[in-house]
Amino acid sequence: MDIDHLFYELINPWPWYYLVPSILGLLLLLGLAADTLVNEAVVLSERAQIPKIVIGATVVSLGTTMPETAVSVLAAIEGNPDMALGNAVGSIICDTGLILGIACLITPLPLPKRIVNRQGWLQLLAGLLLVLVCWPWGSSWGDIMAGNAQGNMKQWVGFVFLGLLALYLWMSAYWARKERDGTTTLEEFEQDASAPLWKVILKLCVGIFVVVATSKFLIPLVQVAAERIGVPQAVISASLVAFGTSLPELVTAVTAARRGHGELAVGNIVGADILNVLFVTGAAAAVTQQGLTAGPKFYTLLFPAMMLILVVFRVGIFFSPERLSRGFGVILLALYALTMIFLPGGIH
């Protein structure tokens, strides 16, 4: 029995007067932690003279993808490889469609074009690479479209992905050194402007940890509340569970957009998508000898939906001179909504 199930069983009998204050309290803590995370990420960006989008695509996204990694690795170890892969693919769809769409609606997101182009191509190539290694090459196109095909991501591919992850992080550090932007705009954060760099990094790590931990405990509480008011179990499994592991990215992106640091939001989503492929599926495949199973629904819906959203994002970057508009956010949200409509029973 895992920790999530134990916590769910613990809170399931709670009356409303325990449940509601707990949800509100965790939401408040989540907001405060997200503020700290964004503040310290901006301070780190300015102190190190590294573009915020690079900080978002590496340091912040590494922290916020920990829930997806934990869920997928545990699912693979416990004999649910399709759930491990589905969690990663679902998170990419949720991050790019729902979360980036919401962030765009809050405020048009600035695009440091050269950096976004580079990271965006890596994001798209990572998604395409995942599809290729999972593709059922021995099946006919007719079998795939009829839902009679099943693929597999081998264990050795997981180790290759982890190697590519190390290469991506090294390249990001190399690019960061070359792209020091020389800006110093720390008036908003006077308390941390002169703080030792180790203290800034420590506060950033604490902020990431609290965001991830709070999200972990908040989702079962919301699930119990949803069941109490009669939300169908199929809707909960198809949306809330997958959405739950992406909650850190959502809170970070919304807070960054609201505070005027849209580059951090874009960087976090792009970086999280890359890490969902290289880190989440790589680690999950590496810990199980049978690899990760890709069932029929991956080829008839999940992979096409993921690639469509990633391609639309690339096209949006190409046609957006300086910012991702609110209209583009509506398009991303519509694509996410369509995926959820055609996915009533979850990923299995």
Q: What is the DSSP string of 305-329?
A: HHHHHHHHHHHHHHH-SSEE-HHHH
208-236, pLDDT tens digit by residue? 888 777 767 777 777 788 778 776 554 55
Q: Please report, for the chain, the start and end positions of each structural domain, with discontinuous segments joined by +.
A: 52-179+226-341
pLDDT mean across residues, the chain? 81
Report d(CA 136, CA 133) in Å as an integer. Answer: 9
**Contact of 151 with 294, CB cutoff 8 Å:** yes
pLDDT at 331: 95
Q: For residue 151, report the phi and psi dihedrals to the nearest 5 degrees.
A: -110, 180
pLDDT confidence bin for 346, thresholds 50/70/90: very low
| Res. 58: pLDDT tops 70 | yes
What is the Cβ-side half-sphere exposure of residue 156, based on CA atoms within 13 angstroms? 0
Report d(CA 6, CA 259) in Å as an integer. Answer: 37
| Res. 3: pLDDT tops 80 | no
Q: Extract the tokens encoding 268.
A: 């976090």
- List Cβ neighbours of 195 (8 Å cut-off, separation of 6 or more): 43
Kindly state the DSSP code that residue 65 receives in the 8-state scheme: T
pLDDT confidence bin for 9, thresholds 50/70/90: confident
Winning range, highest mean pLDDT, from 49-63, 114-128, 170-184, 271-285 = 271-285
Report d(CA 276, CA 57) in Å as an integer. Answer: 12
- List Cβ neighbours of 281 (8 Å cut-off, separation of 6 or more): 72, 84, 85, 88, 130, 153, 158, 161, 292
266-282, pLDDT tens digit by residue? 888 998 899 999 999 99
CA distances from 326 to 17, 32, 112, 118, 320 (A): 38, 26, 17, 23, 11
**Contact of 324 with 93, CB cutoff 8 Å:** no
CA distances from 260 to 61, 104, 203 (A): 18, 12, 20
**Contact of 67 with 90, CB cutoff 8 Å:** no
Placement of tokens 């849209």 in the chain: 262
pLDDT at 35: 74
Q: Work out the average pLDDT over 237-242.
A: 54
pLDDT at 348: 40
Least confident of 60-74, 199-213, 225-239: 225-239
What is the Cβ-side half-sphere exposure of residue 335, based on CA atoms within 13 angstroms? 29
pLDDT at 192: 53
Q: How far apart are the first and last CA of the chain?
A: 21
3-state secondary structure of 170: helix
3-state secondary structure of 151: strand
Q: pTM for the whole thing?
A: 0.79
pLDDT at 194: 62
Q: Is CATH 3.40.50.300 the right assignment for the domain spanning 52-179+226-341?
A: no
pLDDT at 190: 43
Placement of tokens 């949720």 in the chain: 94
Give the residue from 165, 163, 2, 157 showing the smallest Cα distance to 77: 2
pLDDT confidence bin for 283, thresholds 50/70/90: very high
Report d(CA 95, CA 81) in Å as an integer. Answer: 21
